[in-house]
Amino acid sequence: MSELPVLRFAPSPNGYLHLGHALSARVGRQLAQKLRGKFLVRIEDIDQGRTREAFVSAIFEDLEWLGLTWDPRILRQSQETPIYQRAAAHLHKLNLLYPCFATRSEIAITATAGGRDPQRDPDGAIVYPGLHRGMQQQEVERRITAGEQPAMRIRMDAAMELATKRLGGRPLTFRELHPNGEIETIEAQPHRWGDAIIQRKDFPASYHLAVVVDDARQGITHVTRGQDLFAATDIHRLLQVLLDLPEPIYHHHRLLVDANGNKLSKSSGARSLRDLRNTGWTPAQVLEAINDTHQNSRDFPVSSR
């Protein structure tokens, strides 16, 4: 590969980091080291309602405590709104976005009308049943004048059609790097997400748009992140083709689970790294806890940091 490898850890500061984050950061750092590349930290703070400055500063404190090092240039998504607006404008010009005012409950009511079992996306959320897809411009303007703020959704059928055309009829795929060095080509299936949100009501990007725009402009060559984001790669690859952005290699690492087999998360009560530290844990114990002796070789271990 001629380009310099660049990797990143991209936490959302809406809670303190837990062991799952420590694993994610370590996987990225290790692969960066193995490839002799750079390792960046990106603060994904587009959800302003849940972001706390204390969580942002804690991210750096916790990573430092763990002994990880990173490139000093930090990107904060909340400060990058014009960049996302420009990317969204490009999709607008292609006529691939439309406004949607629907609330979660309106979507649920429509999708389950008549006792129907709604279609679900890979995250288990109801697939948008299209309720505002054909809304007249006049009605859109009336609602905006009345103070309603729309989200922007992608016309999935049209987007896939255009992407397929750009790919010369070849399927949309992504490359998944496995720890043994093998790179598997996987077919992306964006359709299963339906008309996904590309711009939130309260921010000019959704997670999907922000992540592909930033991975591209930060020159990320290898996206390392948890297996829980594997299916989201469908939409990321679609957006990369539509926005003419480079295709990184992906590595979705194993997830840490609790005693009930659920993914560690703040909502499921995972203890934060700072809580562990306050009760006497050392960084070595954290690294030991996220190691899986059976799976160790799956995390790109290197002999020294």
Residues that bind ligand GLU (CB under 6 A): 10-12, 44, 211, 225, 229
CB of 195 to ligand GLU, least distance (A): 21
Pairing of strands 183-187, 173-177: antiparallel
Q: By C-beta, is 129 or 190 nearer to ligand GLU?
A: 190
Q: By C-beta, is 230 or 281 nearer to ligand GLU?
A: 230
Let me know: does 33 contact 65? Beta carbons within 8 Å: no
Q: By C-beta, is 11 or 129 nearer to ligand GLU?
A: 11
Q: How far apart are CA 11 and CA 25, in angstroms?
A: 9
- Alpha helix (H) residue ranges in 43-181: 53-66, 81-93, 104-111, 137-145, 156-166
CB of 76 to ligand GLU, least distance (A): 12
CB of 265 to ligand GLU, least distance (A): 10
3-state secondary structure of 183: strand
Let me know: does 57 contact 120? Beta carbons within 8 Å: no
Q: What is the spatial order of strands in the sheet that 97-100 belongs to?
A: 97-100, 151-154, 197-199
Q: By C-beta, is 44 or 195 nearer to ligand GLU?
A: 44
CB of 180 to ligand GLU, least distance (A): 22
Let me know: does 188 contact 247? Beta carbons within 8 Å: no
CB of 113 to ligand GLU, least distance (A): 33
Q: By C-beta, is 10 or 159 nearer to ligand GLU?
A: 10
Q: Which residue number is nearest to ligand GLU in terms of Cβ?
A: 225
Q: How far apart are CA 295 and CA 39, in angstroms?
A: 23
Cβ neighbours for 263, distance < 8 A, ≥ 6 positions apart: 20, 226, 228, 255, 256, 257
Q: By C-beta, is 111 or 235 nearer to ligand GLU?
A: 235
Q: How far apart are CA 206 and CA 292, in angstroms?
A: 34
CB of 207 to ligand GLU, least distance (A): 7
CB of 137 to ligand GLU, least distance (A): 34
Q: How far apart are CA 102 and CA 149, in angstroms?
A: 10
Short-list 213, 245, 242, CA closest to 82: 213
Cβ neighbours for 40, distance < 8 A, ≥ 6 positions apart: 6, 7, 8, 9, 70, 71, 73, 74, 75, 218, 220
Q: By C-beta, is 83 or 229 nearer to ligand GLU?
A: 229
CB of 133 to ligand GLU, least distance (A): 27
CB of 106 to ligand GLU, least distance (A): 27
Q: By C-beta, is 43 or 100 nearer to ligand GLU?
A: 43
Q: By C-beta, is 12 or 173 nearer to ligand GLU?
A: 12
